[in-house]
């Protein structure tokens, strides 16, 4: 068997980060692209592709496990305290996030700042509703501590926009 350090690939993971891993954590979210998908019943719902930068571990600190589908499962987003801000490519489909992110697509390279939250659905039997809350003064202070990471993503997005314009990608 070959030593893992000699391999030139990483194994695919069966799981990926999701909203449950972000509950109560401070995030900066860039809205990239609107889309849509269908649920198992064929009902179409809106989505927004994003860059989501996780800026802290939440008020209770990083949790080894999070509740997902009524079970405790490993947290798929590492600790910001231990490993720094975590950049994720996420597709948001929850109404609370899509309604906030959708209008931002193509209009700004600034991220939306807030804490991911969840509350029981008003309709009995439906999944919890997920959204983002307004930042507090303490949240602004945390975001400023990670200003360089936020600015780096903004600069990358500006560069990509400029390159797309220069290449004529938006010519009719």
Tens of pLDDT, residues 79-109: 999 999 999 999 999 888 999 999 999 999 9
Structural domain span for residue 157: 18-166
Look at residues 126, 58, 55, 59 and name the one whose alpha carbon lies nearest to residue 94. Answer: 126
Residue 93 lies in a domain: yes
Structure confidence at residue 7 (pLDDT): 78
Is the Cβ–Cβ distance between 62 and 81 less than 8 Å?
Answer: yes
Residue 151 lies in a domain: yes
Residue 7 lies in a domain: no
Structure confidence at residue 2 (pLDDT): 62
pTM to 2 decimals?
0.85
Residue 9 lies in a domain: no
Residue 8 lies in a domain: no
Predicted confidence band of residue 120 (pLDDT cuts 50, 70, 90): confident
Residue 141 lies in a domain: yes
Query: How many domains would you assign to the chain?
Result: 1
């Amino acid at each position: 068997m070959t030593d893992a350090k000699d391999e030139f690939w990483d194994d695919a993971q069966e799981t990926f980060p999701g909203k449950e891993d972000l509950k109560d954590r401070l995030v900066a979210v860039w809205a990239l692209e609107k889309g849509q998908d269908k649920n198992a019943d064929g009902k179409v719902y809106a989505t927004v592709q994003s860059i989501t930068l996780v800026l802290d571990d939440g008020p209770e600190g990083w949790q080894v496990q999070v509740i997902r589908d009524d079970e405790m499962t490993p947290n798929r987003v590492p600790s910001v305290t231990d490993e720094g801000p975590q950049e994720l490519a996420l597709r948001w489909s929850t109404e609370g996030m899509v309604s906030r992110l959708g209008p931002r697509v193509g209009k700004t390279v600034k991220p939306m700042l807030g804490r991911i939250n969840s509350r029981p659905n008003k309709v009995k039997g439906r999944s919890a509703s997920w959204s983002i809350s307004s930042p507090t003064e303490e949240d602004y202070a945390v975001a400023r501590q990670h200003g360089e990471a936020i600015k780096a993503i903004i600069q990358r997005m500006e560069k990509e926009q400029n390159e797309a314009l220069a290449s004529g990608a938006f010519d009719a």
